[in-house]
Structure formats: C-alpha cells, structure tokens
Amino acid sequence: MAVRFEHVCGHKGYSLDIFQAMERYKRIKQAKGITSNVHWTKIPVQDSISKLAGLSGFSRLRVPPGIMDEIGFEDCDWISHEVDAKWWKRFEGWPLPLELHIPCRDPIEHLLSQCNYLGKMPDCCQGVKGFINSCLRAMNRFSTQLEHHKNIK
C-alpha cells in the first residue's frame, strides 16, 4: 500500500519515505548477491529506525509500534496495523469518521499462509486439530465491539 499511495501509515512502512526504504533494500540485496525474491523482513536493513529501535527485525520497512505512536497518525488517510482490536479505540474522538477495512481471504488459504509464515509443517502425530491450533495467531484483531465506537463506519 505505502508503495502505491500517499498518506499511508503503518507497521509495514510509511508512504512518505517508502521509496528510499525500498532503494536501501535493493542496494543491500545487490551487495549480498541475492538475486531471488527474498522477503524484505529476511534481509537486515540498516537505517535510522533499525539503529535506534534496538530491536531485531525493525526498520523503515517494518516500523516498531512505539515509533508509530511518536510519528502519529494525523496525516494518514490509510492506517495499516495488525494489532488487537482495542487499539482502534484511540480514534474514537477524532473529528473524521474511521472506516475499517477487513481483508477478505479464503480461510483455509489464510490458515496455511500463517502456518507457512511460522514454519509449521503438518505432523501426523499432532493431529489436524493440534496442527491448526499451532498456526493460529493474533485471533484478537477483530471484535464486534468495534461496531459500538462513535465514529467507526
């Protein structure tokens, strides 16, 4: 999103500096001789956020929540943040309505994508239920409580 549109803010980068962040990523890939399409989270990028955050895996391409809060969201038309549904309550008093977009994805495809991301492989001894449960993460991102916020459409 941040690559294609302006005023996009979130944990996967901000549109205001995404061009430079992607250029750094390409230079690092080239310097390391990586020609395959390796996900940017797998290549350590050195930038101001990665140096300041003191947390492994963060950069301008994956922004830590504390820095997101410091930057603020006042200039954002689109906010991408994969967090607990309660986090959105902070926008209740905003002068503009908040429109939530819930991605539609085939549930099985989404589950298998989570398993792949976590490096989980089906284990016959674990059983289907155990395998599925080992892949479920962040199930608190949506709540029907969001329907009761004053300015959420």
What pLDDT score does 136 carry?
80
What pLDDT score does 41 carry?
63
- Percent of the chain scored above 70 by pLDDT? 86
- Which of 2-6, 87-91, 141-145 is the most confident on average? 87-91
Reading phi first (left if > 0) and then psi (alpha if -120 to 50, else beta), residue 52 is in alpha
**CB proximity list for 108: less than 8 A, separation 6 or greater:** none
User: Global pTM?
Assistant: 0.64
Tell me phi and psi for residue 88, to 5 degrees.
-70, -15
